[in-house]
Amino acid sequence: MRASDRLQAVQSPIIPIVGQWTRETPGTISLGQGMVSYGPPQQALDAARAFGQDGRDHEYGAVEGDMALVDALERKLSRENAIAVSPDSRVVVTAGGNMAFMNAVLAVADPGDEIVLVSPFYFNHEMAVVMAGCRPVVVPAAADDQLDVDAIVRAMTRRTRAVVTISPNNPTGAVYPEQALRDVNAACASRGIFHVHDEAYEYFTYEDARHFSPGSIPGAAAHTISLFSLSKSYGFASWRIGYMVFPHALRDAVNKIQDTILICPPRVSQAAALAALGAGRAWCQPRIDQLAHVRRYVLDELERVADVCYAPRAQGALYLLVRVPGGGNPVQMAERLVREHRVAVIREAHSASRASARCGCHTARWSLPRFEKAWAG
């Protein structure tokens, strides 16, 4: 008796492994898994406490999410992302951004199809692609962790079903310029390929960086899938609320997937999410400003050890991707940091191996919110 060959081909997630090392080494400061250092708005907590007074609260909800939340998300998308949902697109509430991505892969690709990922990439994306029986095609980012549009185009074949971009990026923190995203989106459109864009960190930009949603491009609705999450911006990690905007032509496919895996998004979490959206970005921004202060501090301190490691001055997300020239085996180095120095990081060589091999580097992702907690303590 054994697991399926398909699942055996999927890499093991690194976060639980580092978590086990951390539990076995008391006193370890975790700079690993990315979670903000604040919880949800009070309005969201109040809504969760009030949930359940109506007996209908305990019934199954709509596959795509409760209408009040879907309507609120459509207004947010129009106001903040310039994405007009109707009539060419649909919104579905998901159990976090990971489920939104899994929905997208299953909806657009068949076993053996290819999905283009830009390296370094979010490791769960590769896991989802392999789990679906598809082949990840890895395109290294440019030297500054930006998109190499020409390389992405060269990677497209007759089996390519989607190109995945993440901005602000996990794990590099890079923010992609509007023009680069427009170029990728146009290349996908001209070849009949979907452009899947992950925007989970849309609020987390620093200095002069600006977030751009490719789904706002005129004519992009037919081939663009936009993924979002409340986990980071609203401190909603455990509540599992994300959402996706996708072409209307995929509605039946996405409904089948969602109904099979989830039936409906957790309704108590949806009630809290609706209240959080009422608090809005104005509630999030002061907390992100505090994180920006931590980011500047960490970057300044890392410059003092530039002879040992290098961290690009990423302008987005929650992370710094630290390069350690001559760092040796990445897994062993990450374990040594825990066992010998009581500092936990997420090694990224499993997703960035092609890029780090070129410069002989070990790459490790540091989570700034985790550093903020450690620093405050």
Which amino acid is it at 3? A
- Look at the chain and count its residues: 377
Give the phi and the psi of residue 188 in degrees, each rounded to 5: -65, -45
- Identify the pLDDT of residue 370: 53
Residues of the chain where predicted confidence (pLDDT) is lower than 70: 347-377
Q: What's the predicted TM-score (pTM) here?
A: 0.91
User: Residues 122-164: pLDDT tens digits?
Assistant: 989 999 999 999 999 999 999 889 999 999 999 999 999 999 9
Cα–Cα distance measured from residue 174 to residue 146, given in angstroms and rounded to the nearest whole number: 7
pLDDT at 12: 81
What is the pLDDT, as a whole number, of residue 369? 63
Residue 112 exposed, middle or buried by CB count within 10 Å (0-12, 13-18, 19+): exposed
Q: Given this model, what pLDDT does residue 218 score?
A: 96
What is the C-alpha separation between 176 and 212, in angstroms, rounded? 8
Q: Do 103 and 252 contact (CB within 8 A), yes or no?
A: no
Domains of the chain, each with CATH number or no CATH: 5-40+282-376 (3.90.1150.10), 42-279 (3.40.640.10)
d(CA 127, CA 73): 28
Whose structure tokens read 């009630």? 271
pLDDT at 377: 39
- Give the whole-angstrom CA distance, residue 333 versus residue 312: 20
Q: Does residue 81 contact residue 200 with C-beta atoms inside 8 Å?
A: no
Neighbours of 82 (CB within 10 A): 12
157's tokens: 């074949």
pLDDT single digits (tens) 13-71: 788 888 899 999 999 988 877 888 899 999 999 999 999 999 999 999 999 999 999 99
Question: In whole angstroms, what is the distance from residue 227 CA to residue 216 CA?
Answer: 13
The helix/strand/coil state of 217 is coil
